[in-house]
């Protein structure tokens, strides 16, 4: 029995390594061991400790083990079923993690409503808890209460949790106001190629923050004599970069102007939250933000982040690829208008309700009904742009949609180094996706989807795209090791089952 377990564990490790594109030697180098040892582990010929399995999982960014469970989570999908009924969009994952980081600005109690219960949020909560922040779920687990300590204990930080999320980089903005010296581990998250932290450093240097990178850790030093003397121009119109600059400006004694700022949905939610803390932010929704900082914040605040436009796009794509009629409720339409305009040109049959306000009182929502449609490939290529353009995270869903349309679609995912490559995983499900270069794919449709068994791509949105294609494919498919999906979606399988999908969660160890 023990030998059987070793073989099955070895197979999981081998599959995760191969999916990441690593050789046994590369994995051995990351673990500080030999290639022959990795070979024995993968063949099930070597006893292996839980510590080593955890180290392998961290190196491969793959949940080989899960404490408290029998093993990594997989999905068994019976496809070819139409969806029906209605489903609500959950709150924004990206807004929730930014707001959790922003609570470090506040000495008072923060209550966040309908927080997404996802792995990314759990990792941030683990980090916050380890440094002394008290957090608890209230109201039957739907809302979250956060109370910071008088002094943070950064030496006790849970570095393992911190390394599994890129969001921890947004601790820089709040922490520079609380201590002169501190350190943070390198940020992790999806495997999307090199995503430089230089824009963060460039922006935060205006507040006296200097970073030295050494041995997997950022060492931070703050010079209190330095403050912004002119407008901060971001070198990248990134969401987290803008959020970090906002968090730094929020407690700066004076007025800070941030130019080339992102105006995306999570940035707007952060601005609305800062206003609840007493920080005046002008220009919300534009690329120039003017922040009137408050040196000390001690307020009990109650805030409800808005719904997630990327989840809304996921559900819309699910309806398209399964040729279903589905009503998606609480869709933040102002962050999906370009996507809907492109889909209209492709022939999407849909209906929109009148607009109404989200619980934050600011974001515009609609209910969207999608019907089976005969789609044609778009004339122009699909490519992302900063808001109000087509959302960067929504680009992968157009691969599945284009595969369901008549004709040829060029998708140019210029932002990330690797993400377009993961879209070729759709070929194993019957699609015709040709990789032109690391950023461009050519998709020919329509597709006769077929079932398959495969490892989950190590990037969130391509992983969900593969799951949606499995839902369209006749027969039974298996998607292995779906931790990356759980990072960004709450109970996705169960919620899809509630509208007619047939997805079973299982573990094999």
Residues 393 and 476 in one domain: yes
Cα 355–304–240 angle (5° rounding)? 95
Question: Is-contact 10 44, C-beta < 8 A?
Answer: yes
Residues 282 and 431 reside in one and the same domain: no
Q: Are residues 176 and 136 in the same domain?
A: yes
One domain for residues 258 and 159: yes
**Given a cut of 60, is residue 94 above it in pLDDT?**
yes
Total domains in the chain come to 3
Q: Is there a single domain that holds both residue 385 and residue 343?
A: yes
Residue with tokens 């377990």: 5
pLDDT band at 429 (very low <50, low <70, confident <90, very high): very high
For residue 66, tell me if it sits in a domain.
no
The parent domain of residue 400 ranges over: 74-89+307-506
Would residue 131 count as lying in a domain? yes
Last-in-domain residue among 303, 327, 355: 303
| In a shared domain, residues 245 and 386 | no
Write down the pLDDT at residue 63. 62
Q: Residue 503: is its pLDDT beyond 50?
A: yes
98 lies in the same domain as 150: yes
Same-domain status, 17 and 100:
no
pLDDT-based confidence at residue 17 (cuts at 50, 70, 90): confident
Q: What's the pTM value of the predicted model, to 2 decimals?
A: 0.82
> Token pair of 180, please?
């002169």
pLDDT (mean) for 146-156: 91
Domain boundary among 303, 334, 355: 303
Asked if 190 and 314 sit in the same domain, the reply is: no
Q: In this structure, what CATH number is given to the domain that contains residue 15?
A: 1.10.260.40
Could you tell me if residue 68 is inside a domain?
no
> Per the domain annotation, does 185 fall within a domain?
yes
Q: Are residues 227 and 332 in the same domain?
A: no
Alpha-carbon gap, residue 296 to 248, rounded angstroms: 13
Tell me the pLDDT band of 66, cut-offs 50, 70 and 90.
Answer: low
* 65 belongs to a structural domain: no
**Secondary structure, 3-state, 26-58:** HHHHHHCCCHHHHHHHHCCCCCCCHHHHHHHHH
The one-character DSSP state at 76 is E
In the listed set 303, 328, 355, which residue is the last one of a domain according to the structure?
Answer: 303
Q: What is the mean pLDDT of residues 133-153?
A: 92
Split at pLDDT 50, 70, 90, the class of 1 is very low
Say which range, 26-30, 63-67, 217-221, has the weakest mean pLDDT: 63-67
Does residue 128 form part of some domain? yes
Are 189 and 281 members of one domain?
yes
DSSP 217-265: EEEEEE-TT----S-EE-SS--HHHHHHHHHHHHTSSSEEEEES----H
Same domain, 281 and 358: no
Q: What is the pLDDT of residues 431-482, one digit of tens each?
A: 999 999 999 999 999 999 999 999 999 889 999 999 999 999 999 999 999 9
CATH number of the domain bearing residue 443:
3.65.10.10
Classified as helix, coil or strand, 271 is helix
Q: Is residue 69 part of a domain?
A: no
């Amino acid at each position: 029995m023990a030998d059987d377990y070793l073989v099955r564990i070895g197979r999981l490790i081998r599959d995760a390594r191969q999916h990441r594109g690593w050789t046994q030697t590369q994995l051995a180098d990351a673990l500080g061991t030999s290639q022959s040892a990795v070979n024995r582990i993968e063949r099930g010929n070597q006893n292996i400790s839980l510590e080593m399995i955890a180290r392998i999982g961290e190196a491969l960014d793959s949940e080989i083990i899960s404490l408290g469970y029998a093993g990594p989570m997989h999905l068994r999908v019976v496809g070819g079923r139409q969806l029906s009924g209605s489903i609500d969009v959950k709150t924004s994952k990206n807004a929730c993690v930014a707001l959790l980081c922003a609570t470090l600005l506040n000495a008072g109690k923060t209550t966040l409503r309908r927080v997404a219960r996802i792995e990314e949020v759990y990792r941030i909560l683990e980090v916050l808890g380890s440094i002394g922040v008290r957090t608890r779920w209230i109201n039957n687990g739907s809302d979250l209460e956060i109370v910071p300590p008088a002094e943070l204990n950064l030496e006790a930080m849970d570095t393992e949790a911190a390394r599994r999320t890129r969001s921890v980089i947004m601790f820089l903005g709040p922490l520079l106001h609380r201590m002169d010296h501190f350190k943070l581990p390198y940020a992790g998250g999806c495997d999307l190629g090199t995503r430089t932290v230089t824009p963060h450093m460039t922006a935060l240097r205006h507040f006296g923050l200097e970073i030295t990178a050494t041995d997997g850790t950022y060492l931070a030093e703050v010079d209190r004599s330095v403050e912004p003397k002119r407008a901060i121009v971001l070198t990248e119109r990134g969401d987290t970069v803008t959020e970090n600059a906002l968090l730094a400006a929020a407690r700066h004694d004076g007025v800070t102007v941030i130019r080339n700022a992102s105006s995306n949905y999570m940035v707007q939610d952060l601005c609305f939250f800062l206003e609840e803390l007493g920080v005046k932010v002008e220009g919300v929704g534009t690329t120039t933000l003017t922040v009137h900082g408050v040196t000390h914040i001690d307020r009990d605040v109650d805030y409800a982040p808005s719904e997630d436009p990327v989840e809304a796009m996921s559900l819309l794509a699910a309806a398209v690829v399964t040729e279903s009629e589905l009503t998606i409720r609480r869709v933040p339409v102002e962050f999906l208008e370009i996507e809907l305009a492109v889909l209209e040109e492709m022939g999407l049959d849909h209906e929109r309700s009148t607009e109404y306000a989200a619980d934050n009182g600011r974001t515009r929502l609609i209910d969207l009904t999608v019907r089976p449609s005969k789609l044609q490939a778009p004339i122009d290529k699909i490519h992302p742009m900063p808001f109000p353009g087509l959302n960067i995270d929504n680009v992968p869903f157009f691969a599945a949609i284009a595969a369901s349309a008549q004709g040829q679609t060029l998708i140019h995912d210029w932002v990330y180094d690797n993400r377009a490559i993961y879209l070729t995983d759709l070929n194993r499900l019957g699609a015709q996706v040709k990789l032109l270069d690391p950023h461009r794919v050519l998709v020919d449709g329509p597709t006769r989807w077929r079932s398959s068994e495969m490892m989950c791509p190590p990037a969130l949105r391509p992983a969900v795209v593969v799951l949606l294609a499995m839902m369209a494919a006749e027969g039974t498919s298996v998607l292995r090791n779906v931790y990356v999906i759980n990072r960004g979606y709450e109970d996705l399988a169960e919620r899809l089952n509630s509208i007619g999908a047939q997805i079973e969660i299982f573990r094999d160890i």
